[in-house]
Amino acid sequence: MKRFVLLASALALALFSACEPQQEAPVYGGKQAVPEGQETETTTPEDSTERDARLARLGITPVRCVYFTEYTPSAQFPKEEDIRCFTHINYGHARFVDKKNGTGLEIAKPDYLKKLAAFKKTYPELKILLMVGGWGYNADGFSEMAKDNAKRKAFVENILNACETYGIDGVDLDWEYPTHAAHSTHNGEDYYNGADPNDTKNFNTLVKELREALGENRLITYAASSSGEYMDHKTALEWVDYINVMTYSMGDPPYHNSPLYRSKLTRKRSGEESIETFHSKGVPYDRMNYGVGFYGHGDGSVYPSSVQYHRAVDALSTGKVDGKSVEGYNIRWWDDEGKNCYLGDKDGKMYASYEDPESISYRVAFLKQKGMLGAFAWEYREDDAKGTLRKALRDLMDGKTVENPYPGNGL
């Protein structure tokens, strides 16, 4: 028998209201989605004029954002019905041309960006942002640029030019991470994205200058580590519209990639702990989006290191991933304490973590109960061909009932 995400529309709408007291949390299969006794704060301590300007440029809320990268196969390029699952799209990658010196800006597959921007003709409420940076070598150049007045000015001019050239709505900064010299290897070359003790201060100078140049009508956002480190978030929000908290990539099997609550299968931290850390640092709930992974992590042997949702579907429906048998390791298990699903053997040992409509339902219930701005997903191409996760995220945010097509044994 199929199981369903029982999120009644009226109840979900009541939960999301920022001006009414929070009522009983939604339930799934008789289990409460959000622990009782947690207060919700949605007010933002900012000047009323600044708040009005920010709300005017935000577009549709609650936010349903997705990252869309140049790695998306052309055959998977979305139709308008797919685009309408989202209110905001962050397109990337844009990277520095000279990564050692932090100069120039190049946009991967600019034709993709043009095609996405074309949807605004029939869906004018859609907001499209240029994603600059990313993990590892993708962020090389940020530190060198941000510390230099002339390079910052040139970068800001490049962002403004991109907004005007492509008719897009702003920029999403993915500097992973200020003050931290991340090491990565790409095409056989080693990259170190540089780090400076003043990176955090320089980041805030950068977003201030971006706001001055982009004005009141364009968006400035950034992605942030689930740890809450590396950035002075409270100060940055003087110029930034909202933060995308990357509540994923927090563990490999036998630990969850993106746990909502702490359980014995949590390694670093839970999503709840991450959001509360940001809040304790002065970030209002309504200035954060909760990060939903359209992927998980595999053990690197039975499963590849990255297990996108479409691979999890293959494992559950065919017993194979990339043509390799995973029979006996493809049993869908449920961690009710952490509100997470995973793939494992008959004894419940985890071999791959992933997200599905049931796990996403609890994340949506959580962010609504907290009064958060919305949710974002990494990334579009990792969904299955039917768009199961993007449609689930849309419908759950709208308070609708969603079916989980692969509930497994439900244990």
CB 91 within 8 A of CB 142: no
pTM of the model: 0.88
Cβ atoms of 164 and 170 closer than 8 Å? no
Count of positions (residues) in the chain: 411
pLDDT classification of 233: cutoffs 50, 70, 90 = very high
Nearest Cα neighbor of 366 from 257, 242, 225, 272 is: 272
Beta-carbon contacts of residue 187 (< 8 Å; ≥ 6 apart)? none
The percentage of residues in the chain with a pLDDT greater than 70, rounded to a whole number, is 85
Residue 236's pLDDT is 98
Residue 54 identity (one-letter amino acid)? R
Find residue 293's DSSP bridge partners: 378
Closest CA to 361 of 386, 391, 385: 391
What is the tens place of the pLDDT at every residue in 295-306?
999 999 999 999
The confidence score (pLDDT) of residue 10 equals 36
Work out the angle between the directed axes of helices 199-214 and 149-166 (0-180°, nearest 10). Answer: 40
Model confidence at 114: pLDDT above 60: yes
What is the C-alpha to C-alpha distance for residues 37 and 54, in angstroms, rounded to an integer?
31
Q: Of 117-121, 133-137, 265-269, which gets the smallest average pLDDT? A: 133-137
**pLDDT of residue 7 exceeding 90:** no
Q: Between these two residues, 31 and 380, which has the higher pLDDT value? A: 380
> What percentage of the chain carries pLDDT values higher than 90?
78
pLDDT of residue 192: 59
**Averaged over 169-194, what is the pLDDT?**
79
The answer, yes or no, to whether residue 19 has pLDDT greater than 60, is: no
In the chain, the amino acid numbered 50 is: E
pLDDT tens, residue by residue, 87-109: 999 999 999 999 889 999 999 99
Within 10 Å of residue 183's Cβ, how many Cβ atoms? 10
Domains of the chain, start order: 4-295+360-403 (3.20.20.80)
**Beta strand 183-186 with 170-175: parallel, antiparallel or unpaired?**
unpaired
Nearest to 269 by CA among 293, 287, 282, 251: 251
Quick: pLDDT tens for 32-52: 444 444 444 444 457 788 888
As a whole number of angstroms, the distance between CA 243 and CA 282 comes to: 12
Q: Is 353 a residue whose pLDDT tops 50?
A: yes
Task: Look at residue 84 and tell me whether its pLDDT is greater than 50.
Answer: yes
Helix axis angle, 357-370 to 388-397, nearest 10°:
30
